[in-house]
Structure 1
């Protein structure tokens, strides 16, 4: 169990790529804590489908900062239109691995080929109310390539400093009624972007993995 209030008052962390790699190469990761499951457990299925997202991290030489690539889903999509997300999608039976799923979906959505990335490791699964157990795959973007966005899936992309995302003071925890169901989720704001729900929850999981490793 995670003390949400304690997390929100935790210090910011500013890891290097090597520190992220070290944090993700330890013991098998546990599932990311989702406070919504505690509030509305009856709304979560037990027959989950597998999915994966890629967390692409790029060391920008211009400002010497680690930046994270996020997508804004197409406004025409049936599910979660316009929301901020990581590139990713459901695991297909023909996919060689869950890591392959994350890389394949990234190529399809934003045009970045697998050879642009060096995999750093995985986080624990994040189980969503929509019935997916999502495996976040963390990767360093070692080669910048021109983006080619899928018009059907991606409205635009955003680069957000990793340090901003790993600062709990930039998080808020929200509880509200959605469709007559009480829900609870994390939310992060960045220059007008609203990063919330699954995406913010996965970022919370990344913070937890790095912070826990620093105390080992």
Structure 2
């Protein structure tokens, strides 16, 4: 019996426990080299989208089974949103996985867009794009504001199955919300957290 168990886990690749997490995404942090300076590309989402209209984000979207890998999701979504060919994207590396406290996991990738002039944005999804010098984020820390994360059980929660019943003390926590201000743009939320994690990682390796 133990041999069968071992065999079944031979090629097992561990990942974050995704039980009851329906939203798994991939995004690309697009890097461009212009005049010997590195820039990060951001997109402003179309005002007609149902989810987060007019917000600033990285190219990306939900993982589909046909993608096979999270990297493929980032590439596919970037091609769809920026209107570029896959050959124009050079994936540099995966970055730290982001786990949000609201049923969402995001797999970020760092990648180079080799030809800026070939970008032809999909207006159904993207209002416009803009570039920010990487040095801006290296030299400027975001503003940070704390929010509270609490567990609020449903009305039918089985308190009788746990110690202390309705008096059980659930763990609570805090969730930092970050804001970068660049000219007339506000880069905040999940995009800002993924961005800061990348910038901090890069600064340690420079």
TM-score by length of 1: 0.69
Moved over 4 A (4+): none
Question: For structure 1, which runs of at least 5 residues remain unmatched after alignment?
Answer: 1-30, 32-44
RMSD, aligned α-carbons: 2.5
Answering whether residue 145 of structure 2 is matched by residue 171 of structure 1, we say no
Q: 2-side partners of 1:46 and 1:195: how far apart?
A: 30
Q: 1-side partners of 2:184 and 2:74: how far apart?
A: 27
Deviation of the 1:129 alpha carbon: 4.2
* Count of aligned pairs: 167
1:72-127 Cα distance to aligned partner (Å, 9 max, x none): 01111111111110000010010031111001001111112221121110111112
Deviation of the 1:213 alpha carbon: 3.8
Judge conservation of contact 1:69–1:160 (CA < 8 Å) in 2.
yes
1:80 partner SS: coil
Which residue of structure 2 lines up, in the alignment, with residue 198 of structure 1? 190
Which residue of structure 1 lines up, in the alignment, with residue 20 of structure 2? 47
The 5-angstrom pairing of residues 177-196 of structure 1 reads 184-196=176-188
Which residue of structure 2 lines up, in the alignment, with residue 117 of structure 1? 89
The 5-angstrom pairing of residues 79-94 of structure 1 reads 79-94=51-66
Which residue of structure 2 lines up, in the alignment, with residue 134 of structure 1? 106
Judge conservation of contact 2:138–2:203 (CA < 8 Å) in 1.
no
Q: 1-side partners of 2:191 and 2:202: how far apart?
A: 17
Deviation of the 1:142 alpha carbon: 2.2
Q: 2-side partners of 1:72 and 1:129: how far apart?
A: 24
Which residue of structure 1 lines up, in the alignment, with residue 158 of structure 2? none
Q: 2-side partners of 1:47 and 1:162: how far apart?
A: 36
RCO higher in structure (CA 8 A, sep ≥6): 1
Deviation of the 1:51 alpha carbon: 0.8
Judge conservation of contact 1:103–1:113 (CA < 8 Å) in 2.
no
Question: For structure 2, which runs of at least 5 residues remain unmatched after alignment?
Answer: 1-15, 149-173
Q: 2-side partners of 1:73 and 1:130: how far apart?
A: 21
User: Highest Rg: 1 or 2?
Assistant: 2
Judge conservation of contact 2:45–2:127 (CA < 8 Å) in 1.
yes
Q: 1-side partners of 2:201 and 2:147: how far apart?
A: 27
